[in-house]
Amino acid sequence: MTIHREGKNWVWGTFITVLLINFLVLNFRAEHDWITVLVLIVTLVFFLLILQFFRYPKRNITRNENYVIAPADGKVVVIERTEESEYYKDKRIQVSIFMSPINVHANWYPMSGKIKFLRYHKGKYLVAWHPKASTENERSTIVVEKDSNKTILLRQIAGALAKRIVYYPRENDLVKQGAEMGFIKFGSRVDIYLPLTAKINVELNQKTKGGVTVIAELV
């Protein structure tokens, strides 16, 4: 387990802030020692929360050219046929994974291929499970195409707490299944749009493990 590169400044900044707050409290504390203890506990808990949020676990990545693996840790909150209006402009199977603040927030590529389409959209910060979050929130859209011309669309969506979406690919990049795709800070969602012929291997409310859980098979 390591700290994700997106979190190193956060971790060091929080660590220094916690030290400074506790130094000031110890030197200028009130008559009651319980205030000092309370500040110590609160700042320590906050620091541990920042550490766990930016943790980056080692994973034994699931690799198979026919599999679409989970791009994120979290819970499956949507499995449905829907109209994808930005790129495909037709019916697709949408699978959405909600990431709570306690989940790992790194994102992985669900399959290998070429980045055919990449767009970033500024937007609102509705709660990530809101029906309009995928079209109105801050978001990125990434389309990965396999050699066989099969494609999937990924959408990183900011939530009420998420204030920054980070994505690493550029158009025409060749990417590898299970490699790191990006990061979403502080609560969010990832939507996956699959061909109607895809075999879905997850169920609603199922927990997923990024880079490991098989979301679907392309047939």
Enzyme catalytic residues: 188
Q: Which residue's structure tokens are 């400044």?
A: 9
Return d(Cα 43, Cα 21) in angstroms, integer. Answer: 8
| Residues comprising the chain, all counted | 219
Of residues 156, 108, 86, the one with CA closest to residue 128:
156
Reading the block at residue 145, the tokens are 């195409």
> What residues have CB less than 8 Å from 8, skipping those under 6 apart?
54
Beta-ladder partners of 99: 188
Return d(Cα 168, Cα 187) in angstroms, integer. Answer: 19
191, 94, 75, 212: CA torsion to nearest 10: -80
**Which letter does DSSP use for residue 6 in this model?**
G
Interstrand relation of 55-56 and 2-3 (parallel, antiparallel or unpaired):
antiparallel
Return d(Cα 215, Cα 203) in angstroms, integer. Answer: 9
Reading the block at residue 73, the tokens are 């840790």
The amino acid sitting at 161 is: L
